[in-house]
Amino acid sequence: MAEKINPKIKTFNQKEWVKTNLSYQKDPGSWAWILHRISGIALIAYLFLHIWSISPLVQGKAAFEQKMATYSGTLFSFVEWFLFAFVLFHALNGVRIIIVDWADGAKYHKQLYLYTWVIGILLFLAMGLIMFSHIF
Protein backbone atom coordinates (compact mmCIF):
# COMPACT_ATOMS: atom_id res chain seq x y z
CA MET A 1 0.00 0.00 0.00
CA ALA A 2 2.90 2.34 -0.67
CA GLU A 3 1.54 5.59 -2.01
CA LYS A 4 3.48 7.69 -4.42
CA ILE A 5 4.42 11.00 -2.95
CA ASN A 6 4.42 13.93 -5.31
CA PRO A 7 7.76 15.68 -4.72
CA LYS A 8 6.22 19.03 -5.67
CA ILE A 9 3.82 18.91 -2.73
CA LYS A 10 5.49 19.78 0.55
CA THR A 11 4.19 17.40 3.20
CA PHE A 12 3.55 18.61 6.70
CA ASN A 13 6.70 18.28 8.78
CA GLN A 14 5.64 16.83 12.11
CA LYS A 15 8.89 17.80 13.81
CA GLU A 16 8.69 21.46 12.86
CA TRP A 17 4.97 21.91 13.32
CA VAL A 18 5.32 25.01 15.50
CA LYS A 19 7.45 26.71 12.85
CA THR A 20 5.14 25.56 10.06
CA ASN A 21 2.03 26.74 11.88
CA LEU A 22 3.61 30.11 12.60
CA SER A 23 4.63 30.50 8.95
CA TYR A 24 1.00 30.37 7.74
CA GLN A 25 -0.57 33.65 6.84
CA LYS A 26 -3.04 34.64 9.54
CA ASP A 27 -6.50 35.89 8.73
CA PRO A 28 -9.30 36.35 11.31
CA GLY A 29 -10.26 32.69 10.92
CA SER A 30 -6.75 31.54 11.87
CA TRP A 31 -6.69 33.74 14.94
CA ALA A 32 -10.14 32.50 15.96
CA TRP A 33 -8.89 28.91 15.61
CA ILE A 34 -5.70 29.54 17.60
CA LEU A 35 -7.46 31.46 20.38
CA HIS A 36 -10.27 28.89 20.56
CA ARG A 37 -7.68 26.19 21.20
CA ILE A 38 -5.71 28.16 23.76
CA SER A 39 -8.86 29.19 25.66
CA GLY A 40 -10.21 25.64 25.46
CA ILE A 41 -7.07 24.14 26.96
CA ALA A 42 -7.05 26.82 29.67
CA LEU A 43 -10.70 26.14 30.53
CA ILE A 44 -10.37 22.37 30.89
CA ALA A 45 -7.29 22.92 33.05
CA TYR A 46 -9.32 25.34 35.14
CA LEU A 47 -12.19 22.85 35.44
CA PHE A 48 -9.83 20.29 37.04
CA LEU A 49 -8.53 23.00 39.37
CA HIS A 50 -12.11 23.99 40.20
CA ILE A 51 -13.13 20.45 41.18
CA TRP A 52 -10.01 20.22 43.34
CA SER A 53 -10.57 23.65 44.91
CA ILE A 54 -14.15 22.96 46.05
CA SER A 55 -13.32 19.46 47.32
CA PRO A 56 -13.06 20.66 50.99
CA LEU A 57 -16.89 20.73 50.89
CA VAL A 58 -16.57 17.04 51.80
CA GLN A 59 -15.01 17.96 55.17
CA GLY A 60 -17.70 20.46 56.14
CA LYS A 61 -18.04 24.13 56.87
CA ALA A 62 -14.82 24.92 58.74
CA ALA A 63 -12.50 23.30 56.18
CA PHE A 64 -14.42 24.80 53.26
CA GLU A 65 -14.38 28.35 54.61
CA GLN A 66 -10.71 28.15 55.52
CA LYS A 67 -9.91 27.08 51.95
CA MET A 68 -12.24 29.67 50.40
CA ALA A 69 -10.56 32.46 52.39
CA THR A 70 -7.34 31.78 50.48
CA TYR A 71 -9.23 32.17 47.18
CA SER A 72 -10.63 35.60 47.97
CA GLY A 73 -8.92 38.94 47.67
CA THR A 74 -8.12 41.41 44.93
CA LEU A 75 -5.49 39.29 43.18
CA PHE A 76 -7.81 36.32 42.89
CA SER A 77 -10.61 38.55 41.65
CA PHE A 78 -8.32 39.70 38.86
CA VAL A 79 -7.52 36.09 37.98
CA GLU A 80 -11.27 35.31 37.99
CA TRP A 81 -11.91 38.31 35.78
CA PHE A 82 -9.38 37.10 33.22
CA LEU A 83 -10.77 33.60 33.50
CA PHE A 84 -14.08 35.16 32.42
CA ALA A 85 -12.28 36.57 29.35
CA PHE A 86 -11.33 32.99 28.37
CA VAL A 87 -14.88 31.76 29.03
CA LEU A 88 -16.30 34.64 26.98
CA PHE A 89 -14.03 34.13 24.00
CA HIS A 90 -14.59 30.39 23.94
CA ALA A 91 -18.38 30.75 24.31
CA LEU A 92 -18.81 33.55 21.77
CA ASN A 93 -16.44 31.98 19.27
CA GLY A 94 -18.22 28.66 19.80
CA VAL A 95 -21.49 30.32 18.82
CA ARG A 96 -19.65 31.88 15.87
CA ILE A 97 -18.45 28.43 14.76
CA ILE A 98 -22.01 27.08 14.91
CA ILE A 99 -23.29 30.01 12.82
CA VAL A 100 -20.42 29.60 10.33
CA ASP A 101 -21.30 25.91 9.91
CA TRP A 102 -24.96 26.81 9.44
CA ALA A 103 -26.39 27.48 5.95
CA ASP A 104 -24.24 30.17 4.30
CA GLY A 105 -22.88 31.54 7.55
CA ALA A 106 -19.33 30.93 6.29
CA LYS A 107 -19.73 34.04 4.12
CA TYR A 108 -19.93 36.16 7.25
CA HIS A 109 -17.18 34.55 9.31
CA LYS A 110 -15.00 37.67 9.37
CA GLN A 111 -17.81 39.95 10.49
CA LEU A 112 -18.80 37.37 13.08
CA TYR A 113 -15.21 37.32 14.37
CA LEU A 114 -15.39 41.09 14.80
CA TYR A 115 -18.69 40.75 16.69
CA THR A 116 -17.06 38.12 18.94
CA TRP A 117 -14.52 40.73 20.02
CA VAL A 118 -16.97 43.63 20.30
CA ILE A 119 -19.54 41.70 22.36
CA GLY A 120 -16.73 39.99 24.30
CA ILE A 121 -15.00 43.23 25.31
CA LEU A 122 -18.31 44.83 26.32
CA LEU A 123 -19.30 41.84 28.48
CA PHE A 124 -15.77 41.66 29.92
CA LEU A 125 -15.94 45.29 31.04
CA ALA A 126 -19.47 44.80 32.40
CA MET A 127 -18.26 41.80 34.43
CA GLY A 128 -15.35 43.86 35.75
CA LEU A 129 -17.80 46.48 36.93
CA ILE A 130 -19.96 43.84 38.65
CA MET A 131 -17.08 41.93 40.24
CA PHE A 132 -15.11 44.90 41.51
CA SER A 133 -18.18 46.73 42.81
CA HIS A 134 -18.17 44.06 45.55
CA ILE A 135 -14.55 44.81 46.45
CA PHE A 136 -13.91 48.51 46.08
Partner 1 sequence: MFKYKSSKDTGAKSWIYQRISGIALVVFAIGHYILMHFQPEAGKTYEAVFARMQFSWYRIIDLTFVTLALYHGLNGIWGIFRDYDLKSGTKITIISALILFGLAFLFWAYYIVFSIPYGKPMP
Touching partner 1, residues 105-124 (CB under 8 A): none
73, 132 in Cβ contact below 8 A?
no
Closest C-alpha to 96, from 87, 108, 84: 108
Q: Is 35 in the site for partner 1 (CB under 8 A)?
A: no
Contact with partner 1 (CB under 8 A): which of 27, 30, 31, 65? 65
**How would you class 89 by CB atoms within 10 Å of its CB: exposed for 0-12, middle for 13-18, buried for 19 or more?**
buried
Query: Binding segment for partner 1 among 23-31, 64-72, 105-113, 114-122 (CB under 8 A)?
Result: 64-72
CB of 46 to partner 1, least distance (A): 9
Query: How far, in Å, CA of 47 to CA of 53, rounded?
Result: 10
Nearer to partner 1, 35 or 91 (CB): 91
Contact with partner 1 (CB under 8 A): which of 20, 26, 27, 41? 41
CB of 37 to partner 1, least distance (A): 6
Closest C-alpha to 85, from 31, 45, 121, 48: 121
